[in-house]
Amino acid sequence: MERNDANGIGGETATNGLPPRVSVVEVGPRDGLQSEPVWVPTEEKIGIVNGLIDSGIRHLEVTSFVSPRAVPQMRDAAEVLAGIDRSKGAVLTALVPNVKGAERAAAAELDAMVVFVSASESHNAKNVNRSIAESLEGFREICRIAEGAGMQIFGAIATSFGCPFEGDVPVQRVVDIALAYRDMGITKLSLGDTTGMATPPLVRERCRALARHVPEADIALHFHNTRGVGLVCAYAGLEEGITSYESSLGGLGGCPFAPKATGNICTEDLVYMLDECGIESGVSLEGVVEMSRRAEKLVGHPLPGQVMKAGRRLDLHALDAVATACG
């Protein structure tokens, strides 16, 4: 396969109102692996994270300090973090559900704890066995622990675009949680679309509501491709000026506590789209694809990523490699 980008048609520059540069946040090692039934050895997890850092990714959600009974795949959280190459200055984060998780995280090689709450009561109950109010109340102590450990704290809002048990989630609910986070001093927020219920109009509505009511918030978008519109939603986010996107290598992923949850938007497919739109991410598509192929072997089933199978649009094929139709 030869590569031909001489005509440059795909090299549109970001003069179309989209941000010139965005940050790709890799969540595959956490969101991707958490629902995989096959144990991925600690050394392999470390190898993939280090490979992704080598590919240019500078922000990764590496693991979670949750109950090992709830999510056995994440039981090696501290060991994984201890093995990661810190020389390139990548920001490493991990999910923290409660005080016990925060105490474990505070002792680990971590830059930021990510607390999380769902915008719908039923998903929050399934996911962390408590009400939204109880989750938010518990974050105050986690903030104190993070501060004591010199770590930053970020906030995630799961089911921000819909809940698999309750349906539509009012935009005001998302705004109220963002305000509660802001009142705790947490302004780096991620809107999670846990089961792929986002659509471009919902993305526009939620981004605009947050820009209006919580202007301090620095928003990242976290989509799943459950209904095939994950990247379209990311594009809607770009049109709203959002500059941070969470994605998973190969499109791995899915929440074990939500029915029919499937993979995140795929990192290399996202990078491909950004490249073709002339938006800088600093990430090597080829480097990520290499890690996705490795991850595919480890989990033992095909991953949904598409560019890892098809290559770039101008990766050309030899004419005589394909049969000619006749008759």
Binding site for ligand COA (CB under 6 A): 34, 64-71, 95, 97-98, 100-101, 104, 127-129, 158, 255, 257
Please state the closest distance from residue 128 (CB atom) to ligand COA, in A: 4
21 binds, among ligand COA, Zn ion, none (CB under 5 to 8 A by kind): none
Q: Which does 312 bind (CB under 5 to 8 A by kind): Zn ion, ligand COA, none?
A: none
C-alpha R_g of the chain: 20
For residue 311, the SS3 value is coil
User: Which residue, 116 or 139, is less far from Zn ion as judged by CB?
Assistant: 116
| Helix-helix angle 285-299:42-54, to 10 degrees | 170
Which of ligand COA, Zn ion, none does residue 3 bind (CB under 5 to 8 Å by kind)? none
| Alpha-carbon span 300 to 295, nearest angstrom | 8
Of 95 and 279, CB closest to ligand COA? 95
CA distance 212 to 206: 10
Q: Are the beta carbons of 237 and 230 closer than 8 angstroms?
A: no
Q: Which of 236, 226, 88, 79 is nearest to 164 (CA)?
A: 226
By three-state DSSP, how is residue 138 classified? helix
Instruction: Name the binder of 127 from ligand COA, Zn ion, none, CB < 5-8 A by kind.
Output: ligand COA
Q: Which residues lie across from 64 on neighbouring strands?
A: 95
Rounded to an integer, what distance in angstroms lies between the CA atom of residue 189 and that of residue 219?
A: 5
Shortest approach of ligand COA to residue 33 CB, angstroms? Answer: 11
- Between 55 and 127, whose beta carbon lies closer to ligand COA? 127
Residue nearest to Zn ion (CB): 31
Catalytic residue among 255, 266, 277, 326: 255
To the nearest whole angstrom, how small is the minimum distance from the Cβ of residue 129 to ligand COA?
A: 4
- State the minimum distance, in angstroms, from the CB of residue 275 to ligand COA: 29
Separation CA 144–CA 122 (nearest Å): 28
What residue type is 28 in one-letter code? G
User: Binding residues for Zn ion, per CB under 5 A?
Assistant: 31
188-192 and 152-158 beta bridge pairing: parallel
**Known catalytic residue: 277?**
no
Cα-to-chain-centroid distance, residue 117:
16
> Position 225: which residue type?
N
Nearer to ligand COA, 81 or 128 (CB): 128
181 binds, among Zn ion, ligand COA, none (CB under 5 to 8 A by kind): none
Q: How far is the CB of 201 from ligand COA (least distance, A)?
A: 24
Q: Which is nearer to ligand COA, 55 or 194 (CB)?
A: 194
Q: What are the catalytic residues?
A: 255
